[in-house]
Amino acid sequence: MSNYRDMANDILKDIGGKDNVINVNHCATRLRIQYKAKDQIDDNSVSKIEGVAGTVIRDDEYQIVIGTDVANVYNEFVKSIGDVSNNKSSNIKFTWKHLGQTIIDFISGTFVPILGVLVAAGLVSAVLNIGVSFFGLSTKSGTYTILNGIYEAGYYFLPVYLGYSAAKKLNMNPMMGAFLGATLVYKTIDSAKGLEFLGLSVPQIQYNTSVIPILLGVLFMKLIDVGMDKITPKSIKFFTKPLITMLIVVPVTLLWLGPLGFQIGTIIANILSFVNLKLGWISVGLMGALTPLLVMTGTNQALFPLCIASVASIGYDAFVLPGMLSANVAVGAAALAVSVTTNESKKKQLA
């Protein structure tokens, strides 16, 4: 569908307007809307909107299946609803379920925008391998150097992309998150030996391609950002707020949060490797079988940091991504079978 604005407005109208929206996000194919009142949603009308392939209501989240155009619809939807922060209830009781949903929402909102970078970088690597193996591309040529630069930049500066995306998700200036990520991968800080700050020894950590350290750093930055907003006079906030924020966040990240995140990432990668080694192909099969359920519930988003942590630690992921690949191939085969066997034109197109 070409008119994404009309589609977004139709969806907004049929779910009860912006006053019924608490938060909105999206994954690869679905617009995910947290709502206040279920009875205000006209699911039948939403399902009939051109471009909507289906809907799912799960707990307090309304999922609208759109397909690969979901990002365009999301952008128009966000413009239509504006600021909905006042829609959140101030007396929400803490539950582990709510905490889990909040964590998954943060991870999803942070990682989905950068998936295009990771996909492009990975495919360029595949093109390089094919060029070298089958077409005689020299590893010393300028062509190889440029293409390899695209691949390396996609992963080497991962903390910068994640810093920007995470800060934007937390409603901060995204450039401050990118600034923190760039600081971590700067040549005199990343993997630096014998570094110290005010007499405190800074652990030697490789931050390029890392995931969890920058996420912890940006979360801490959010706390400082909120505090600085409360105590900084408006007349000097423009220059004092970013200055003091970075002077606090960078040392704390380098001294404690970064090493903690690195250790968490290493532990996660080791656990995944252990499960894969002990269960072998069964572990991949289980992941493949669970993937459709994970996607429907949105919990697949929580696996992105695990995959990247594994790649950063041991160079590959032999568990999660192969399982998801097998699931996607199976779902694709099922959709292909439907498209071949059905006589309904709309269902054939959807398949």
CB 276 within 8 A of CB 319: yes
What digits encode the pLDDT tens for the residues 83-114? 666 666 545 565 666 777 778 778 878 888 88
Task: Give pLDDT, residue 85.
Answer: 60
Task: Give pLDDT, residue 86.
Answer: 62
Mean of per-residue pLDDT scores for the chain: 87
CB 265 within 8 A of CB 312: yes
Task: Give pLDDT, residue 315.
Answer: 73
d(CA 260, CA 177): 18
Residue with tokens 């939807």: 77
CB 178 within 8 A of CB 158: no
Q: What is the strand order of the sheet 21-26 is part of?
A: 21-26, 30-35, 61-65, 54-58
Task: Give pLDDT, residue 319.
Answer: 84
d(CA 25, CA 106): 10
Domains and CATH numbers, the chain: 4-84 (3.30.1360.60), 157-262 (no CATH), 281-350 (no CATH)
CB 306 within 8 A of CB 268: yes
What digits encode the pLDDT tens for the residues 22-51? 888 887 788 989 898 889 999 999 999 988
What digits encode the pLDDT tens for the residues 195-231? 999 999 999 999 988 889 999 999 999 999 999 999 9
Task: Give pLDDT, residue 250.
Answer: 97
- Encode the chain (351 residues) as per-residue pLDDT tens digits: 458 999 999 999 999 998 999 888 887 788 989 898 889 999 999 999 988 888 988 777 899 989 888 889 998 998 888 766 666 654 556 566 677 777 877 887 888 888 889 889 889 989 999 999 999 999 999 999 999 999 999 989 999 999 999 999 898 999 999 999 999 999 999 999 999 999 999 999 999 888 899 999 999 999 999 999 999 998 898 999 999 999 999 999 999 999 999 898 888 777 877 888 888 888 889 889 988 888 776 677 778 777 877 776 677 788 888 999 999 999 999 999 999 999 888 778 778
Task: Give pLDDT, residue 1.
Answer: 46
CB 295 within 8 A of CB 193: no
Residue 89: name the closest of 98, 78, 77, 100 by CA. Answer: 98
